Structure 1
């Protein structure tokens, strides 16, 4: 048996650069792992894949991206492994833009590679992940990363400065397809948040990082509930706040855990909310990280 922590993802920046000929969109974004996590337990079995989750709303078969990750790994391993039983303890909220499913899938890939001692490199794990979901390659590696293309091209960045982060999720969702459609119709180019975020990370400047946070989805398809939560968090002393991914979770940076805990208490009690911290990239001591 082997356990993996599947850390949630935040977008410190998200720039939609334009639509590609294949119908997808080129993105440029800075992703960051945080300590909020699911727990993925892998148990070797003689054959096949089974998946159990403590959240009854999460699918247990091929509709689950972690299930598909296990199948893809077992196929790629070329008979060096047999089967696996997967248990997922969910803590990352669904449909929040925090890559909960992708992080579970990445944990399965990392865990199976360790469990069955298969000689797959980080690049090979990321390549498998890219066939399953756009965020999976990032979630394999984690930490502070510049992600480009659809998210599959990764470049490591300096670790995020130490801080406390409040994450909360309003009940409303975001129309991703509509947001992309509006992005294609913008009369002017995107503002470009990513450069400022990278600069702040390189200087390890937390206040500057807070000021640099930004997400094109917010600009293109503003949501009143998201704006309201950001305003509450800023009034509570946040150095900056933004929506993550295509939403609808909102996060805010605080210099201290005391400030973050106090801010969390000001949020509506019926919303998911937590205090977490940035975490570094997963450790692959024997492998060189070189994503395709």
Structure 2
């Protein structure tokens, strides 16, 4: 038996950091949604008790450093599964890009193995398992659109934002999330985005208001470290994006566009800045 799972990328429409916690993590408040750029996973049961991962992408680890491997190992150990699994990972989401590609792969692995091995694990329990692997994994288990609080694991699902085109561009650099949060001074953030304004824009389906409400406090750290991210934001605005923001800790920048007629111009214009450019829709 084989099972297939889609692992979509996520973007942060809003990312705020409220404070640094005593456990060393940061207390966040985010609005996350998914876009139609996705990895695809194929899972097949093995008779011998082992985990094997393959991928067409030559640049990702296929051992315990891979979050999908960690997810398979976690679910096997927790539920005492003696069968092995072969996972093929068709990688489309850029790595170290602020798009939660690894987290979404882990979530898809948990969902897929729950079905493959007929474990009947409830969604809430899968989310708790996911939280052990990473802060974005619980959201990626269910997808949709949500406010995420705590470390990102406390989720409140909300209505989907107004439908639009999303043009994603990743400059040829990698950004460490741990490094960005390590440099962030939560008590010195200059401007916090308004969660209320973002939620109002989604509730009323007002696309221009949503573009105005976009905000990510991690830009204060990543942009000075990597000026090319700022240049990419400026290029997107010049090419006609109606709202532009860095996703997560970066370096990927997304531009929101309401009219399809603008998409080709933006896509072609951005290819002059970087090779990794994607034109997709919100996954609503």
| Superposition TM-score tier, normalisation by shorter sequence | over 0.9
SS at match of 2:233: helix
Cα distance change of structure 1 residues 90 and 177 upon mapping to structure 2, 3 Å threshold: closer
User: Which of 67, 70, 78 is equivalent to 1:68?
Assistant: 70
| Matches of 2:179 and 2:79, distance apart in 1 | 39
- TM-score scaled by structure 1? 0.90
Question: Which residue of 1 is the match for residue 51 of structure 2?
Answer: 49
User: Which of 240, 244, 247 is equivalent to 2:243?
Assistant: 240
Cα distance change of structure 1 residues 215 and 88 upon mapping to structure 2, 3 Å threshold: same
Question: Which residue of 1 is the match for residue 40 of structure 2?
Answer: 39
Cα distance change of structure 1 residues 188 and 65 upon mapping to structure 2, 3 Å threshold: closer
The correspondence of residues 135-154 of structure 1 with structure 2, limited to 5 A, is 135-154=136-155
Can you give the 5+ residue segments of structure 1 that lack an aligned partner in the other structure? 281-292
SS at match of 1:34: strand
SS at match of 2:5: strand
Question: How far apart are residue 57 of structure 1 and its match?
Answer: 1.4
User: Which of 246, 259, 264 is equivalent to 1:261?
Assistant: 264
Can you give the 5+ residue segments of structure 2 that lack an aligned partner in the other structure? none
| Matches of 2:186 and 2:3, distance apart in 1 | 48
Q: Is 1:225 paired with 2:228?
A: yes
Cα distance change of structure 1 residues 138 and 258 upon mapping to structure 2, 3 Å threshold: same
Question: Which residue of 1 is the match for residue 108 of structure 2?
Answer: 107
Cα distance change of structure 1 residues 191 and 43 upon mapping to structure 2, 3 Å threshold: same
C-alpha distance after superposition, 1:244-292 (max 9, x if no partner): 0000000010002221222111113442001011113xxxxxxxxxxxx
Question: How far apart are residue 126 of structure 1 and its match?
Answer: 0.7
| Matches of 2:127 and 2:211, distance apart in 1 | 30
Question: Which residue of 2 is the match for residue 277 of structure 1?
Answer: 281
Question: Which residue of 2 is the match for residue 289 of structure 1?
Answer: none
Question: How far apart are residue 72 of structure 1 and its match?
Answer: 1.0
Question: Which residue of 1 is the match for residue 20 of structure 2?
Answer: 19
Question: Which residue of 2 is the match for residue 286 of structure 1?
Answer: none
| Partners of 1:18 and 1:183 within 8 A in 2 | no
Question: How far apart are residue 191 of structure 1 and its match?
Answer: 1.3
| Matches of 1:273 and 1:248, distance apart in 2 | 12
SS at match of 1:131: helix
Two-structure CA RMSD over aligned residues (Å): 1.7
SS at match of 1:91: coil
Give the stretch that moved more between structures: 219-228 or 237-246. Answer: 219-228
Question: Which residue of 1 is the match for residue 96 of structure 2?
Answer: 95
Question: How far apart are residue 182 of structure 1 and its match?
Answer: 4.4
SS at match of 2:161: coil
